[in-house]
Structure 1
């Protein structure tokens, strides 16, 4: 039995390391057409260096997004024209939020490697079930990671070095009302 213990410990360490190795969504699934609060969980910096900048590139179909401001961080927004304009409250929407960036205002505001924090935004999910991938760029005082890898259709993201945050958009279970 003694010879199996180091293997078990090594396996647990690998799993613990891989669990820390991503920026993930707090709620990994939600109903199609619903309002969704995307909470990105950031559990580490870049190999010991503090995070000073987080950028989220919004997936196509995620509409009307609004970020949550963070004390000590400046918000920057980038709009982009839509391939498929849509109607909202009687207005034709031809461009929408495409990218949100939070930048620490000072070194003291940076997210230290040993700390955990969340970055949030809300929007409306597409009407059709499927996967949405949020690509994130994490810039640290030293180094950066572009969490943007997406597996082939139907494949797992396990084994990817820097996977994007995956949201599984499920079929509606009941007719939902209009939400904000």
Structure 2
């Protein structure tokens, strides 16, 4: 084998290995948008790329972080929709009217998402202007399986520690233009 070919193969292998180590895990629940504007409406679309280690997914539960208000989940045919409401830690003013309580958690359950299929779960929300642009906002998700087990996508990444094994999906907050 020529020196050039050996060098090219070594470079290709190193590049492939480096990109696979640096790439985020794609086997977890993610959010369609990468950014959300503070002080504006936000369409939260949770992407569920698979079931539960060979089994079907039977529920998706998302916890809305403080400052995410006016949540209105989209019903999904074949799934039951539950909303947990409660008091917020503060009073917010989405679209100019004050709110101090509302939906804090949403669950779609009773459905059947086979392991080899993909689905999206959608919520219309408002990202309050009090949240800090430039930071990440995380939405912990629990993926329930037909056998009663669950995968908890709830770990918040810590800078300098790499990606957690079961990361919560998140979006970067940006300023309103």
So what's the TM-score if we normalise by structure 2?
0.81
Q: For each residue in 1:15-65, what CA deviation from the matched residue of structure 2 results, as whole angstroms up to 9, or x when unmatched? A: 6x9643211111010221111101111001121111000000001000101
Q: CA RMSD in A?
A: 2.8
Larger CA Rg, structure 1 vs 2: 2
So what's the TM-score if we normalise by structure 1?
0.80
User: Measured at CA, do residues 13 and 41 of structure 1 come closer, stay the same or move farther in structure 2, by a change above 3 Å?
Assistant: same
**Alignment gaps of 5+ in structure 2:** 1-5
Q: For each residue in 1:73-122, what CA deviation from the matched residue of structure 2 results, as whole angstroms up to 9, or x when unmatched? A: 00000001111023457754221110000012xxxx40001000100101
Q: Aligned residue for 2:136?
A: 131
User: Measured at CA, do residues 113 and 9 of structure 1 come closer, stay the same or move farther in structure 2, by a change above 3 Å?
Assistant: farther
Work out the number of aligned pairs and report it: 166
Q: Aligned residue for 1:62?
A: 68
Decide whether the 8 Å contact of 1:23 with 1:40 is kept in 2: yes
Decide whether the 8 Å contact of 1:157 with 1:163 is kept in 2: no
Residue of structure 1 aligned with 2:163, choices 141, 159, 163 = 159
| Secondary structure at 2:165 match in 1 | coil
| Secondary structure at 2:143 match in 1 | strand
User: Measured at CA, do residues 156 and 97 of structure 1 come closer, stay the same or move farther in structure 2, by a change above 3 Å?
Assistant: farther
Decide whether the 8 Å contact of 1:150 with 1:157 is kept in 2: no
Q: Aligned residue for 1:176?
A: none
